[in-house]
Each structure stands twice: as C-alpha cells, then as structure tokens.
Chain A
Amino acid sequence: MKQELTHLLKQRSILLLLCISLLLTWLSLHNGWQNIHHIREQISHAQLEADLRHQSQQADYASRAQIDAGEIGYYLFHNVYQHPTEWSFLALGNRLVTPYVQRIRLLGLQGQLYDGESHHPEYVMLGSFDYAFWLVFFTPLICIALLHDLKASEFQAQRLVFLNSLIANPKVFWARRVLLRWVLILLSLIIPLVFFAIAQSLSLKPLITVIAITALYTLFWVVICLFISLRKQAMNASLNAMLLASIWLVLCVALPNLAQLWLHQQYPIQDGSQIALQHRQLVHNAWDQPKTDTLNPFYVHYPQWQDTPAVTGRFHWKWYYAFQHMADVQLQAQVTDREQTLALRDQTTKKLGLVLPSLWVQHSLENIAQSNVTHLLTHRRRITDFHTQLRHFLYPYLFEEKAMTVNDLVNMPTFENQASAPVHP
C-alpha cells in the first residue's frame, strides 16, 4: 500500500490535481461562508435600524394621548428575517434569491409575501460557488481524471502483460489501487471540511452526515470509473475519458435539466406575482362594493365582533382591515394549492434523486443547509402565523374601538419572539 502511494504521488499531474481539489474545496467552503456571513451582517444591520426606528416611534407615540389603532396597522412595518442556519454555507440554494429581510404590515398578506430581493439579477443568474456545487458538479471530474486510465496507462507504458504475470490476485491488486485513489480524493474533500468545522466550531452531527454523503457520492463515481477503465478492452485512455465525460454530462447536466423541465410541466404553478395581482384587484373591488358585502363574510370568520357598531360613514378602519383580510381569505384556496404543488415538486425531486445521484446529493445537502424550497414554505408559514397574531392583537382596538395607549404597544407581537423556536425538519 505504501509503495502504491509513493508511486501515485510521484506522478506530478496527480499530485497537482489533488492539490487543486484541496484548494477548490476550501474555496467553495469559504465562498459559501462569506455569502452567509454577508446575509448575517445585513440582518443584524437591519435589526439595528429597526430598533432605532422602534425607539423613535415609541417616543412619538408616547407624546400622543391616544393612538389610532388603524394607523398602527397601516404605517407600522414589522421586519421579518430569514436567518441562515449553522450549516447554510454548504449549499446556498434558495437563500441566494429569497429576501432575508422582509417587511410586513397589517394589510393583506398575499399582496406583500411575494416581493423579491433587489439583488443583482446577473449575479443571481451566474449562481454561486458553494460546497454542494463543487461536490455534485466537479468531484466526478476529479474521479474521472484519476481513474480513467487504470489499465490503459499500464498498457501504454507496456507494463500490463508484465503486471498480469506478476500479480497473484489481480482483484486485490486493482482493488488496492482504486481504494487508494478514492481515499485520496475523499481526503482532499474532507480535510478542508473538517478544518472548517473545527475553526468555526460547528456541530458534529451534520458534519458526519456531510462526510457520509461525500463518501457515498465519490464512491458512486469511483465505481462508474472502474466499470469503464477496467473493462477487458479498456486500453484506450482517451476513449475511456470521453465515455466517462459523456456519462458525467448526462448525469450532472442533461438529466437534471430534463428533470426540472418535466417537473415544471407535470406540476405547473401560477407565478407568485399573479397572486399579488389578484389580491390587488380584490382589494380594489371591495372599495366599490357595499360595506356589508365585506363585513358579513368577515363576521362569519370572526363572530365575536358581529355585534359591534355597524359602519355607516364613508370610511372606517375596521371595514378597511376586514376587506384586506377577506382578500386573503378568498385567495386562500389558490395559495394552499400553490404551496401543495411546490411541496409536491420537492417530494418528486427527492424521489427522482433516488435514481439520479447528483440530484440526491444536492437535495440532501440543501436539507442540511435548510435552503430548499420547503424551508422557504416553512418560513412563509411563520410569516403567516405572525401576521395572524398581529391581526388578532389589533382587532379588539379596531372592532370594539378600544382606546389604545403607548403602553398597549408593548404587548404587540414581534416576529423574533414568535419565531424563537428554530424550525427543524
């Protein structure tokens, strides 16, 4: 084994390749970390600004004798944050695009939920260089480069016949060779990973899962390379390389693309902006309708307020917030449908992953990083819960026309308190 190792490492190109792999693994981890760090910084900056705003608002409200609850609902924005988790740097996934800070007020939620982040669109399009991308997309190439000419290189060096006559058990001989190369590839991936985990003192369990995934995926590619390069007629190194590169192209590019295409065809969804648009229309139509058309259905949902004073004037906040909410209610079926379709898409992706290893790895890593579409849906559900809490907090002041003072504002729910329990899948 030691001889094998020295023999292998004497080949300059192999040593170079391993060093490149080591370097790029580190780069991918570092880059992912930088992105997540950036998100964390932006969030804490936003929190800081929100605190300052909050203080000045408190001072402003304290100077008033009475506060109009309707204005609180309309003018007071609440930041909601999508915090990255500890291992998010592995796979940036949706976090690259989704807004990590959003602001929510008491108006209809469906009109606010789909606002995107103002990233540089070209940057988002180019994608990021994170560990998941590096592992899924490039390590197969490293495997191919190290393993495509097992027999062919010996044949070209005119040692193959000699070798065959020397070795007692060819299976053990080749197994040892292959094993060694696999271990080296694996080490070039794991060493930076472990160092990174230690340096940032990350938790152990995800690390072990990631190492297991890495090992399995590289093993899969090693086995494929074996089949090609240890065939009986595997004497042409270039032919092997091209065959393997074609397999790589099919497994890592063509099939995932076709999978995505099929998925979108199979489970079509409405654009999120269409929901927001419909919400607008519903809200606008409500202005033209008799107020009872809004309030009666609303009281079906909230019978506790049906006996409150009727709205007779041209405008009343309770009518305003009732139609905002009713627009959400009317869209609820579509929204649920949309969420279910998205969840279905994710489940199908997972199933496809069982036959397509590249997809399986990407999906698993994104689950560890919590940056998949399911986590976006969980986040949206939390926003919805928060929005509901806010509504329930303000409704008594609006419907019962209870007087509101600055002391009441202390009890106002905030997203951070509501979301104190981190969500784990």
Chain B
Amino acid sequence: MKSSPVMLMMYNEWRRLWHARIPVLLLLVLIVLWAISAIAAHHHWQDHARTVTQVTERSLHDWESQPDRHPHRVSHYGDFVARPIHPLSVIEPGILDQSGHLVYLEGHRLNSANFNPATEATSAGRFPIITPAMIVQWWMPLFLIMIGYATITGEKIGGTLAFMRGNGMPAWKIATGKWLALFIPLAILLLAQALLVLFWIWGSEQALVRLSTMLLGQSLYIAGWCLLVVAISWSNQQLHSGLLALLLCWVCVCIIFPRGLANVSQIMHPTQPRTEAEYHAEIKLKAIGDSHNPDDPHFATFKSNLLKAHGVDRIEDLPLNYNGLLMQEGERLTTVVYREQQALHEQQLAKQNATIRQWLWLSPALALQYLQMASSGSDLTHHLAFIRQAEDRRYRLIQYLNQIHTHQVQRHDDKNTRVSADFWKKAPRPTISLAALDVSQTAIITSIAVLLAWILLPLLLLSRIMHRT
C-alpha cells in the first residue's frame, strides 16, 4: 500500500517520537494526571450532588410536615431550593464552589445563594485545581509543547528539512503531516474522554448537544495549539529558543491573561458589596410605602380603591380579609424593588463580563473555559437563570399563601387563626430545573469565534515563514 506524502510525514514523526521515548513517557504522565483529575472531580461532584438531593428531600419534608399554621407564618417559615447540577459538570465544575447553591425563599425578602465553600479553604485550596477540563485547558498544551517543540526545528538542524524541500516536497504537506502527527493522538484522547463521559451523562438534559459543544471547543483549542507548536517550531533555528517561546505563550495564554483580565475587570467595574446593596434596597422599600402605617399615601389610595370596587365603606365589611390583600400588594411592591436590585447586580456582572469578552481574543484558554463551563451548565448565566427560577417560585408561593390569607382567614380573628396543613401540600412549588444551553449562547459563540481565530493566527504565521525554507 502506498501512502500519501502527508501520511508518510505523519508516520515518520510518530516513529521519531516513539524512538525518542520521552514523548511517549510524557503522554503516559498526562494520562495518569487525567485519571487523578477524574477521580478528584468525581469526588467533588458527588459531594455537590449529595447536597442537592439532601436539600431537595429535606425541603419537601420540612414543607409538608408543617402543622396547621397561619399562612403568614408559613410564608416566613419559607422554602429552600438547591441549584441543580448537570452530570457534565464532573468535567468542569465551574463556579460551583464560588457561587453557593442554596437559596432560601421567604415572604418579602430576596435571599440569594450566598454561602461559598471557597471562603473557608486552607492554603492548599489556593493551588490551581486539576479537573478534566483543566487537563485539556492547561496541561495538554503544556505536554504538547514538550512533546512537539522540536518537531521541525529538529529537522532543520539535522538538515532533513532542506533535503525534503529539495526533493520537491511542498512545505504545506510537511506542515500538515507534522500537525496531524501531533493532533491525532490528542484528538483520540479527547474522543475517548467524550465517549466515557457519554456513558456517564446518558439520559441527562441535552446530553448530546452539551457534550458535542464541549468536544468541538476542545478539538478546536487543541488543533490551534498543535498548529502553533508547528509554526513556532518552524520559525526557530534553535531548539532552545523555540521551547522558550512556546512556554512563554503558554504561561501568558493559560495563566497570566485569564487571571489578569479577571482582576482588571473587577477593579474597573467593581461589584457593590452585598451590605451596600441591602441598605439601598431598604431605602427604596421605605420610599414606596409602609403597609403598617395607616396614613401612608400609597396604601391609603389602595384602600379607598378597594372599598370603592366592592361598594362598601369600611374594611370590616369587605367580603375578603383586608390583611391578606394588604400582604399581596406589599409583596408585589417589595418584589419589584428586589428584582430591580437583582437586575442592578446582574448589570454589574454583565459589565465585568463585557470587559473580559472584549479582551477574550488574547486567551483561547479562557475562551475554552467559558465554553466548557457553559456546556456543563456551571457558568454564570446558568447560575443567574437558576436564581431567576428560584425567585419566580418564591413569588408564586408567597402570593399563593397571601391568597389563602385573604380567603381562608377571617379578619376579626386573624392572628389566632390556624389554616389546615392540607393547603401547604397543594402549594405551587414548581421544580427547579437546569436552564437550557441557549442561555449561554453568546458565550458559546464568542468562544468559538476566538478559538477559530487562534487557528487562523498560527496558520498565517506558518504561511509567511514556510516559504523561507
């Protein structure tokens, strides 16, 4: 069987790497590291998954085992929800540790998911964590550099490159052969991971779309790095300078740019401290009116409109419980303020994101991270979607309770009434589900664009220098 020159180049490169022994060894180390990361990540994931199931079970149990109560007591007793996690987050846990995953839902308060385990980490927690996503994002390129930095420089030094070119081998064929030799083993590893993960996530929400998005991103990223290694290896005359240049690229792209960008965006558009946000919300709440104050202008109009609508003169003559109606109106108003406040917070986060996105082209590693986080459902947009769902559930639940307060409780004996526990069981408590992948559409598109650009960049470099030798 006669192979094409490109294939021959590839086989020859493999033969060289095999005989050099170090590259094979490195590949083995990478696989071992991968296995460690998978075990660690699985362990970590299980912790979270356990918390989510426990919290969900407990919240149902606590809710349903409530005795006969006054509905307003129930609305303060509240309900709590845990953020659902996708099994794919075993690959990329994303902001799981940083964002908190428990939200308390109660009447006229907006609680947010705010306990983050990262607060209490010891010094050991400050080291970059290894997850399967990190392996692809950081360690695979690093190993690739160590395996492949000599790929063309070596041929140059040995004189074989000039020989091949002299024999009429086109430069692009050499480059393609070398690129394939580096890319194919890593692509096989990525595919193997994807297949293993497929078994793991089988049957979960949008399993195939999410996994294939992730695989696409990873393949583009690794393809880009392979090209960069070939291009830089071609442009250097000395092994050393090539290695140094590649390592420098790696340090900047993988570590300095992402961390630097995050820091810059945080300093340029600081988020308001939680305490300040809470004070501001309280000031706004005071401004809209106090339902306990009989002279408050807003609630005075509310009352007179209500009386007019029912054609009565006193609230005692209303067919409904005025206190319950007051609660409903109050809840509506406070919810507006809290949602405004949340929108403000989201705006601040969006500003920070925009700053990072503006400079995202600097770092394909960060682009890949966004893509991996988005596809594993552990990025900021998925988290915010969860917060919105939780808030929606809170509002519906509280207004249901206020309805019961209005219809089932008599005003003259309001404070002493207890309503049957059956009403709690019928309360609307829609299940919280993971948001669809569409919420992170912008992040995915931007990331893929950046990854594509990072394939073009080394290609341009390569096409400029290939002809010189």
Binding site for B on A (CB under 8 A): 13, 16-17, 20, 24, 27, 31, 34-35, 38, 42, 45-46, 49, 53, 77, 79, 91, 93-94, 97-103, 114-129, 132-133, 136-138, 141, 145, 149, 237-239, 241-242, 245-246, 249, 252-254, 256-261, 263, 265, 269, 271-273, 276-277, 280-281, 284, 287-288, 314, 342, 345-346, 349, 352-353, 358-359, 362-363, 366, 372-373, 376
- Selecting from B173-181, B269-277, B397-405, B446-454, the interface stretch reads B269-277
Q: Are B130 and A123 in contact, CB atoms less than 8 angstroms apart?
A: no
Q: Which of A46, A97, A257, A372 contacts B123 (CB 8 A)?
A: A372
Q: Given A121-B380, A124-B98, A145-B244, A46 and B121 touching (CB < 8 A)?
A: no
Q: Are A261 and B278 in contact, CB atoms less than 8 angstroms apart?
A: no
Q: Are A271 and B251 in contact, CB atoms less than 8 angstroms apart?
A: no
B95, CB-defined interface residue at 8 Å: yes
Q: Are A129 and B40 in contact, CB atoms less than 8 angstroms apart?
A: no
Give 3 closest A-B pairs by Cβ, nearest first: A273-B115, A256-B127, A121-B95
Residue-wise interface mask of B (98-127) relative to A, using a CB-CB cutoff of 8 A (1 in contact, 0 not):
111010100000001011111111111111
Quote the shortest CB–CB distance from A246 to chain B (angstroms). Answer: 6
Q: Are A116 and B124 in contact, CB atoms less than 8 angstroms apart?
A: no
Find chain B residues with CB under 8 A from A102 CB. 275
The CA-CA distance from A93 to B118 in the complex, in Å, is 10
Q: Given A242-B22, A271-B51, A280-B104, A115 and B127 touching (CB < 8 A)?
A: no
B36, CB-defined interface residue at 8 Å: yes
Quote the shortest CB–CB distance from A329 to chain B (angstroms). Answer: 21
Q: Are A126 and B258 in contact, CB atoms less than 8 angstroms apart?
A: yes
Q: Are B256 and A24 in contact, CB atoms less than 8 angstroms apart?
A: yes
Q: Are B117 and A121 in contact, CB atoms less than 8 angstroms apart?
A: no
Quote the shortest CB–CB distance from A20 to chain B (angstroms). Answer: 7
A-B contact count (CB 8 A): 241
The CA-CA distance from A342 to B123 in the complex, in Å, is 12
B11, CB-defined interface residue at 8 Å: no
Residue-wise interface mask of B (122-142) relative to A, using a CB-CB cutoff of 8 A (1 in contact, 0 not):
111111111000000001001
Quote the shortest CB–CB distance from B158 to chain A (angstroms). Answer: 14
A-B contact pairs, 13 of them (CB 8 A): A27-B260, A35-B266, A42-B273, A103-B275, A103-B279, A118-B277, A122-B95, A122-B379, A145-B244, A241-B243, A276-B115, A373-B122, A376-B120
Q: Are B345 and A118 in contact, CB atoms less than 8 angstroms apart?
A: yes
Q: Are B130 and A116 in contact, CB atoms less than 8 angstroms apart?
A: no
Q: Are B98 and A125 in contact, CB atoms less than 8 angstroms apart?
A: yes
What DSSP secondary structure best describes chain B's contact surface? helix
Find chain B residues with CB under 8 A from A280 CB. 78, 104
Q: Given A103-B275, A141-B247, A258-B36, A132 and B126 touching (CB < 8 A)?
A: yes
Q: Which of A46, A124, A253, A284 contacts B275 (CB 8 A)?
A: A46
The CA-CA distance from A241 to B345 in the complex, in Å, is 47
Q: Are B115 and A133 in contact, CB atoms less than 8 angstroms apart?
A: no
B383, CB-defined interface residue at 8 Å: yes
Quote the shortest CB–CB distance from A378 to chain B (angstroms). Answer: 13
Q: Which of B102, B263, B279, B352 contacts A53 (CB 8 A)?
A: B279
Q: Are B76 and A46 in contact, CB atoms less than 8 angstroms apart?
A: no
Q: Are B267 and A114 in contact, CB atoms less than 8 angstroms apart?
A: no
Q: Which of B268-305 contact A (CB under 8 A)?
A: 270-279
Quote the shortest CB–CB distance from B38 to chain A (angstroms). Answer: 12
B169, CB-defined interface residue at 8 Å: no
Q: Are B123 and A362 in contact, CB atoms less than 8 angstroms apart?
A: yes
The CA-CA distance from A366 to B98 in the complex, in Å, is 20
Find chain B residues with CB under 8 A from A242 CB. 22, 26, 146
Quote the shortest CB–CB distance from B250 to chain A (angstroms). Answer: 10
Q: Are B275 and A79 in contact, CB atoms less than 8 angstroms apart?
A: yes
B422, CB-defined interface residue at 8 Å: no
Q: Are A118 and B272 in contact, CB atoms less than 8 angstroms apart?
A: yes
Q: Are A101 and B120 in contact, CB atoms less than 8 angstroms apart?
A: no
Additional 10 contacts, C-beta under 8 A, given A260-B129, A376-B119? A27-B260, A118-B271, A118-B277, A119-B271, A124-B118, A126-B258, A273-B114, A281-B62, A363-B123, A373-B121
Q: Given A252-B127, A261-B40, A38 and B244 touching (CB < 8 A)?
A: no
